[in-house]
Amino acid sequence: MLNRDFDHLSTLAHHFFEREDIRQKLNIIDQYNISGWEVWMQIEFANLLASTGHEWWREQTLACDLRKNPQRLSVRADFLLRKKGWTLDSYIALELKQNQDPTSCVRNMIADLVKSAKIKRSELALRSFWTLGVTPRIDKERLNELIDYYLDEKYYLTKSRKKHVLLRDIEQTPYCYIVI
């Protein structure tokens, strides 16, 4: 199931970032040094989910397992999504991140993975939890260094670093996207 979820999200990200209108907007963001465009990306991604027949919810509040995170009662996932044909009430949680600094982007993505480990398992049937980040292009070696530095492996036990990390350039833009 984890491999299927990763493949599905990778395909969604590919379709999203191959769109000419998205690449054009990313170039405008870069050209005019626009910051704070994460909500725009979430809206555009929601449009993709709606157009591809997914069930999805934004900013869904999920209870925390108080044994794992006694400071907070709940967390919010940017998206819960379910593809047609998947088991009813079985969802992928997805967080979107953007940052002009690749180090900050990866650090924030990993912080969201840590957050996901605190979701109460009885809250809903959560198939898997992922992050999708957009940042200026970096190479695979630098990404691996950042993951090694920021990721505590205990929060990543069910995933494989070799199978479940994707780094792709967004063609005709100065950006890349990362799925962890």
Distance CA 127, CA 114 (A): 16
Residue 170: the pLDDT is 98
Residue 157: the pLDDT is 55
Output helix, strand, coil percentages for the chain, rounded to the nearest 5: 40, 30, 30
Residue 136: the pLDDT is 98
Residue 179 host element (H or E):
strand 175-179
Residue 156: the pLDDT is 59
Strand pairing report for 55-63 and 175-179: unpaired
Report the DSSP beta bridge partners of residue 97: 133
Residue 159: the pLDDT is 73
Residue 161: the pLDDT is 73
pTM greater than the 0.85 cutoff: yes
Whole-number Cα distances in Å, 105 to 2, 88, 124, 130: 23, 33, 28, 14
pLDDT tens digit at each of 180 positions of the chain: 889 999 999 999 999 999 999 999 999 999 999 999 999 999 999 999 999 999 999 998 888 888 775 677 888 999 999 998 888 888 999 999 999 999 999 999 999 988 887 887 776 788 899 999 999 999 999 999 999 899 876 655 567 777 899 999 999 999 999 999
Residue 59: the pLDDT is 94
Residue 155: the pLDDT is 58
